[in-house]
Chains A and B, each alone.
Chain A
Amino acid sequence: MRLRAVRTVEYDDRGLEVFSFCGHCGLPPKPAAQATKSRVCGHCGLGLVLRAASDVAPALDEPFLVVDATLSVCAVSARAEALLGIDETAAVNKHVADFLVPADANAPSAANLLALLVEVASGAGEARTAVVRPRQEFGVRYRARVGACGPPHAALLVLAS
């Protein structure tokens, strides 16, 4: 007997539920993909399935970027591509500051966002929020949730207007 409504729920060490989502389209993986152990998204085929705790995992309509501990962009979701006007294939391996910079007037320094990303990508920090803007644009600001995702360890930066 198969119970379609039942799914395995995982929790991280803080007791928060862990969600899986595609790094490109943001959709949760198909059950068939879990059976084949493939990390490639069964919906769009253009992203790998990532995992993040519920306090940072993106909702379906939220654009996001994935950044590693060297602050290189590793993934850009389809919605983030449209929002920021960048192409993931061109953005990958470039510094995150080429696309997003801190825009919080109250932040002590610009280095704080980068330090937060490094800390989170190293698996040490907790989910936090920051205010960012596209590098070449003024007057547009996004509240961003920054938290850990993976595998492997990386920082997830979810943009919300």
Chain B
Amino acid sequence: MLNVSPNTLRAWERRFGYPKPQRSAGRHRLYTHGEVSALRDALQQGLSISSAVSRAREALSADTHTLVGALAAFECDRADAAMESALALRSVERSVEEVLLPSLDELAARQGTDSAPWAFAARWADGWLRRAQRLAPPPVRPLAILVGDATRNELDPDSLGIRAFELFIVRAGARAMTLPVAGVSGLGEVVESLSPDAVVIAGSHLADDDVARWAYSVRSASGALAVALFRRVQHDRQIRTTGARVLPDEPFAAHRQLLALVDERGGSEYEHATVLAMPALEEIERREVGW
């Protein structure tokens, strides 16, 4: 399409940060058609690669502006159309990370997360992500992830990131189930049925005590499990304790890292994982059986 060598594309990535490829499982660069075609059109009319890249970026960011505009005007149909047009140029993962989540971040910054416009936008985005998850192909990996949702509710700013994280896990062929950390009764039955290979505690609204109680219930039902934390604020104190892995805040990077870790270790415990401060959990562990 561009009539340039792979070396040139790599040089552009280094110098201009564009096109920005995803990586396949074998670490090959995967370019989206939308980015490359936007660049091709810009190159035909450009005076330099820099100006062409700048124009191509502008063309792609139009989807974000459209989505922000639609949500700010409370127009669900237009918001759906904006995502459809984003999907025409990108994968589901990139559409979520480059269009949906940044648009919601912009609205949160503009309106505040306690406003009615944010509530409308967050509900729409939550619905869109759930719909996308229902349309995901059936699981193909013998892998199950249990996500403990420690957010306030669906209007919590972290909630959409967690929905996106769950969607990406499901689209990668694994099973994922999200349960609120606040509910502990009957948790054993769910855990026995799902047989999770890893547990992710996501969100920072609930206190460490609640999270530790939930995590202990899961552990009682399933035995030793890999534990990871997603979008959970770290404490100042660093205490060597549960060996929970801290995942990146970006849902795509987080799901890749989690799946790689579980695949790599065959679902076993993370013996040398990152240290995380969770004093309450440590206290419970001291009293009960260690993880």
Tally of B interface residues using CB under 8 Å: 21
**B4 / chain A contacts, CB cutoff of 8 Å:** 38, 40, 45
Interface-central residue, B8, B11, B48, by most chain A CB under 10 Å: B48
Q: Pick the contact of B54 from A38, A92, A150, A152 — CB < 8 Å?
A: A92
**B48 / chain A contacts, CB cutoff of 8 Å:** 23-24, 47-48, 66, 74-76, 88, 92
Report if A48-B2 is in contact (Cβ < 8 Å); known contacts: A40-B8, A89-B16: no
**A154 / chain B contacts, CB cutoff of 8 Å:** 47
Compute how far the CA of A91 lies from the CA of B11 in the bound complex, rounded to whole angstroms: 19
Compute how far the CA of A154 lies from the CA of B12 in the bound complex, rounded to whole angstroms: 23
Compute how far the CA of A37 lies from the CA of B4 in the bound complex, rounded to whole angstroms: 11
Does B46 touch A at the CB level, under 8 Å? yes
Compute how far the CA of A74 lies from the CA of B54 in the bound complex, rounded to whole angstroms: 10
Mask of B25-59 contacts with A, CB within 8 angstroms, 1/0: 00000000000000000011111111110100000
Does B193 touch A at the CB level, under 8 Å? no
- Smallest distance from the beta carbon of B7 to chain A beta carbons, Å? 7
Q: Pick the contact of A75 from B7, B15, B45, B47 — CB < 8 Å?
A: B47
- Smallest distance from the beta carbon of B49 to chain A beta carbons, Å? 6
**CB within 8 Å of B: which of A76-121?**
76, 88-89, 92-93
Q: Pick the contact of A36 from B3, B12, B45, B50 — CB < 8 Å?
A: B3
Q: Is the CB of B51 within 8 A of A93?
A: yes
Compute how far the CA of A152 lies from the CA of B44 in the bound complex, rounded to whole angstroms: 9
- Smallest distance from the beta carbon of A56 to chain B beta carbons, Å? 15
- Smallest distance from the beta carbon of B56 to chain A beta carbons, Å? 12
How many A-B pairs have beta carbons closer than 8 Å: the answer is 65
Report if A46-B47 is in contact (Cβ < 8 Å); known contacts: A40-B8, A92-B54: no
Compute how far the CA of A132 lies from the CA of B3 in the bound complex, rounded to whole angstroms: 38
Compute how far the CA of A75 lies from the CA of B54 in the bound complex, rounded to whole angstroms: 12
Interface-central residue, A23, A40, A88, by most chain B CB under 10 Å: A40
Compute how far the CA of A93 lies from the CA of B52 in the bound complex, rounded to whole angstroms: 11
Q: Is the CB of A45 within 8 A of B47?
A: no
Q: Is the CB of A23 within 8 A of B2?
A: no
Mask of A2-45 contacts with B, CB within 8 angstroms, 1/0: 00000000000000000000011000000000001111100001
**A37 / chain B contacts, CB cutoff of 8 Å:** 3
Does A71 touch B at the CB level, under 8 Å? no
Compute how far the CA of A139 lies from the CA of B51 in the bound complex, rounded to whole angstroms: 31
Does A144 touch B at the CB level, under 8 Å? no
* Closest B residue to A50 using CB positions: B47
Compute how far the CA of A47 lies from the CA of B3 in the bound complex, rounded to whole angstroms: 14
* Closest B residue to A92 using CB positions: B50
Q: Is the CB of A93 within 8 A of B2?
A: no
* Closest A residue to B10 using CB positions: A45
- Smallest distance from the beta carbon of B57 to chain A beta carbons, Å? 11
Q: Pick the contact of B3 from A38, A48, A68, A88 — CB < 8 Å?
A: A38
Does B24 touch A at the CB level, under 8 Å? no
Compute how far the CA of A40 lies from the CA of B54 in the bound complex, rounded to whole angstroms: 16
* Closest B residue to A149 using CB positions: B47
- Smallest distance from the beta carbon of A155 to chain B beta carbons, Å? 10
Compute how far the CA of A150 lies from the CA of B48 in the bound complex, rounded to whole angstroms: 10
Mask of A40-64 contacts with B, CB within 8 angstroms, 1/0: 1000011110100000000000000
Compute how far the CA of A23 lies from the CA of B147 in the bound complex, rounded to whole angstroms: 52
**A45 / chain B contacts, CB cutoff of 8 Å:** 4-5, 7-8, 11-12
Q: Pick the contact of B46 from A36, A48, A88 — CB < 8 Å?
A: A48
Residues of B within 8 A of A (CB): 2-5, 7-8, 11-12, 15-16, 43-52, 54
Q: What 8 pairs across the A-B complex have the smallest Cβ distances?
A: A75-B48, A45-B8, A38-B3, A74-B47, A92-B50, A74-B51, A23-B48, A36-B3
Known A89-B15, A89-B50, A150-B47; 7 more pairs at CB < 8 Å: A23-B48, A37-B3, A40-B8, A47-B48, A47-B49, A48-B46, A48-B52
